[in-house]
Structure 1
Amino acid sequence: MAPRKVTPPTLTKRRSDEDHAPRHRKRVVQHLPLAQIASHPGQVFVFGTGDCAQLGLGEGTLLRKKPTNVAALNEQHIVDIAAGGMHNMALTKEGKLWSWGVNDQRTLGRSGDEYTPMPVEGLDDVKVVRVACSDSLTVALTDLGHVYTWGTFRSAEGILGHSKETEVQDKPTRVAGLEDIVDIATGTDHVLALDSTGLIHSWGNGQQMQLGRRIVARRMLNGLTPESVGAKNMTKVGAGSYHSFAIDKDGKASAWGLNTYGQCGLDDAKVENIPTVGPIKALKDEHIVDIQGGEHHSIALTKDGRLFGFGRSDSHQLGLGYTELPGTEDSTSHKKAIRTPTLIPGLPPVDAISVGGNHTLALTREGDVYAWGFGEMLACGNGEEEDVEKPLKLTGQKIEGAKILKVAAGGQHSVILAVHA
């Protein structure tokens, strides 16, 4: 019998542990990818485990096997969603944020009830166009290309800090030194920001080389200041828990950070970390438009709507129906991996992806959602506490006949934005 899989410990228990004046800059909203500037509002639905307030359905609702409407947001004209390890953000058409979930490190950007969505405070004078959630930090991108963050970063030793001056940031604060930002991505405890010139800036915890630069252990706080990773002519960034991605203007993907399971696309078990930006050679013949990672696996989306998976696979995170490449010798370890980017079969053309800790959501061009991966926390929405081996179409009475607009995969839960015809 295969050994029992358990949820990563970082996602199974709660943690107990001056705004900068904006400068006069030209508006850069015209540089923002169109996919980031959503305009069609929908209703928010959640499913999975909510024992840490992730579902936003009230303190008495701790799990949902199938998509359930978050009624508190129905009148807010929500156009985008983001899910972190145990908290969520919803973006309104007017550029305002609502939050719910764990608030131990002030990731919600507000006080008040964690179990019910409420407005983020301190962003009255800005319009947010994109939001991203890590485990203990939230990042917002405005229409002027400014970045705001709140919460904190963590390291293997505990709380690392929000900045050199602040351990935990209660309310949104603008990140100094970043201008004309057009894209953002978050890992478990690091952030990537892409500017309009194609340069990538990284900050946070760099213990697994996910920042694209070496951080000396005794000077870990230096990682809390954004610095360029050295890559040029990039058009999009993505991140896994402890690894990072970038896509250039020709659709070629690069990766760096933790590679213990081949999640950076490098099929060499001896290379556990990639310290600087390097091309994913196995995808050199593909035109990649998005690439994201979970705890130890990665999913790449091509221009024509195909998906490639690579990295850890013991919970079927890659959706291939197997946990090792056919023909390989069976491993005695339950931590199986497929280090070579491999085409995921059984999917219609995909328009967008969201990769959770150990599961994945794929949004098709027809407005359907497919899910696969770790199932014990019900985050795949199929109603069963078993891993989903292959992409499975999401169904449910509450979303019957609806078109899905956005997907967001969290640590133990999932969020979708849908509109009924």
Structure 2
Amino acid sequence: MKYSPLVNKISAGGSFSLVLDKDGEIIAWGSNNLNQCYPPVGKFIDISAGLTHSLALSADGSVVSWGSKNTYNMPSEFKSKVKAISAGGHSLALKTDGSVVSWDSSYEVPSEAKSDVIAISAGINHSLALKNDGSVIAWGTNTYGECNVPLEAKSHVIAISAGAKHSLALKDDGTVVAWGDDSDNQCKIPQNVNDIVAISAVSYHSLALKKDGTIIAWGRNYERQCSIPDNAENIKLIDAGDMHSLAENKMVQF
């Protein structure tokens, strides 16, 4: 595995991982049965690994896709004026005008997510959007209440993350709100989850990065995806995959 000493972004997918290095090039490893690990050649400013496909954002505001969802079906809205991307079981793009567009989802983007959005997160069958007033919007499958945004996530939210059947929101006071499926305790936030600066939710586990550079993980641990390694210190980036987790510190993987 190639390692870049300056990593701009990490993204954990269903059973593969992506890194965007300091030169804007993409590195991929893991399961490749759908060409998930054959990223496009070029310079990019953002990446997002989904369940079986990935997205990359170019500086010109256009998006490319590879893996199980290909660019041939990508709507024109993904091809210009995009400033953020998120891949899950489907694809989301945040446009420069603050509107959200979706691809390969059976759920339409609600009217509330068509303006003043500052962040997006695609789960497997549901989506989250963060508005500039600090409130969260959710839509899609709601079997486990993953789209029932609690009162605590309707103000002062600064980051969001959609898992398979649960959702996370990071508040401006460093606390985390979780809702949806809790069958593996992925919504039971540990007592030491405070001073948080980043969050990541995936199928059945959750990650949080503390201000001091340490990681907290909770939920399913069948594949040791919540067993944080001893060398996970001074961490700057985290991302949760389906059955693994990534942290940026000489590419710690667990």
Find the counterpart in structure 1 of residue 17 from structure 2: 88
Equivalence for 1:241: 124
Give distance in 2, aligned partners of 1:366 and 1:180: 36
| Displacement of 1:162 | 5.4
Of 66, 69, 87, which residue of structure 2 is paired with 1:186?
87
Query: By how many angstroms is 1:144 displaced?
Result: 2.1
CA distance, structure 1, for counterparts of residue 176 and residue 113 of structure 2: 28
Choose 231-240 or 192-201, whichever is displaced more.
231-240
Taking the aligned partners of 1:196 and 1:366, their CA distance within structure 2 comes to: 33
Kindly indicate whether structure 1 or structure 2 has the higher relative contact order, using CA contacts under 8 Å at least 6 residues apart. 1
Does 369-378 or 73-82 show the bigger shift? 73-82
1:318 to 187, 196, 207: 187
1:351 aligned to which of 197, 202, 206:
197
Q: State the SS of the aligned residue for 1:403.
A: coil
Contact 1:108/1:138 (CA < 8 Å) preserved in 2? no
With over 3 angstroms needed to count, the CA separation of the structure-2 counterparts of 1:298 and 1:102, relative to structure 1, is same
1:74/1:103 Cα in 2 relative to 1: closer, same or farther (>3 Å)?
Answer: closer
CA distance in 2, matches of 1:123, 1:375: 35
Could you tell me how far apart the structure 1 residues matched to 2:185 and 2:158 are?
A: 23
Partner of 2:51: 135
Matching residue within 196, 203, 212 for 2:109: 212
Question: Cα gap change, 1:94/1:359 in structure 2, threshold over 3 Å: closer, same or farther?
Answer: same
Report the equivalent of 2:102: 202
Residue 210 of structure 2 is aligned to residue 364 of structure 1? yes
Secondary structure of 1:405's counterpart equals coil
Residue 79 (structure 1) aligned with residue 8 (structure 2): yes
1:192-228 per-position Cα deviation (integer Å, ceiling 9, x unaligned): 100111011100132xx3x437xxxxxxxxxxxxxx9
Give me the CA root mean square deviation.
2.3
Match for 2:162: what amino acid? G
Contact 2:100/2:109, CA 8 A, preserved across alignment: no
- Percent identical pairs in the alignment equals 28
Listed one character per residue, the Cα deviations across residues 249-297 of structure 1 (whole Å, up to 9, x for unaligned) are 11111010011111112xxxxxxxxxxxxxx362365311111121111
Gap regions ≥5 residues in structure 2: none
SS in 2 for 1:205: coil
Q: Which runs of 5+ in 1 are unaligned?
A: 1-71, 110-119, 154-160, 165-173, 214-227, 266-279, 321-343, 382-393
What is the CA-CA distance between 1:73 and the residue it aligns to? 2.9
Matching of residues 93-108 of structure 1 within 5 Å? 93-108=22-37
How far apart, in 2, do the equivalents of 1:149 and 1:73 lie?
A: 22
* 1:200 and 1:229 in contact (8 A); partners too: no
Q: Distance in 2 between matches of 1:152 and 1:395?
A: 31
- Max Rg structure: 1
Taking structure 2 as the reference length, the TM-score comes to 0.90
Mapping 1:29-48, distance limit 5 Å? none
Measure, in 2, the Cα distance between the counterparts of 1:370 and 1:230.
Answer: 30
Matches within 5 A, 1:301-340: 301-320=170-189
- CA 151–262 in structure 1, closer or farther in 2 if over 3 Å, else same: same
- Measured in 2, the distance between the counterparts of 1:295 and 1:144 equals 31
